């Protein structure tokens, strides 16, 4: 039972993050470069894998999301 409960945080975070990152559209999921949530999530994953620093990961992904949303998509 204890081993099964160790997977709960990963499962819950996945259930929260995936729908926010790839929101369903009328034609299907928006998996394009125009989706700022997806771009920020991919950058966050890369930053965390390279650095293992959660605060840096959050800061970089928020910056990427903001720049992508307000500069790239205009």
**pLDDT the model gives residue 56:** 94
Cα 15–Cα 21–Cα 23 angle in degrees, nearest 5: 90
For residue 6, give both structure tokens: 């160790």
The dihedral formed by the CA atoms of 73, 43, 53 and 13, expressed in degrees to the nearest 10: 90
Per-domain residue ranges for the chain? 2-72
What distance in Å separates the CA atoms of residue 74 and residue 70, rounded to the nearest whole number? 6
Express each pLDDT in 8-67 by its tens digit: 877 888 888 888 888 776 677 778 888 899 999 999 999 999 999 999 999 999 999 999
Q: What predicted TM-score, i.e. pTM, was given to this entire model?
A: 0.75
Contacts of 60 (CB under 8 A, 6+ apart): 43, 44, 47
């Amino acid at each position: 039972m204890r081993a099964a409960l160790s997977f709960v945080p990963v499962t819950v975070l996945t259930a929260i993050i995936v729908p926010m990152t790839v929101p369903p559209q009328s034609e299907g999921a928006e998996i394009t470069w125009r989706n700022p949530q997806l771009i920020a999530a991919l950058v966050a994953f890369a930053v965390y894998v390279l650095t293992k620093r959660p605060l840096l990961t959050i800061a970089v992904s928020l910056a990427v999301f903001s720049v992508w949303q307000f500069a790239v998509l205009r």
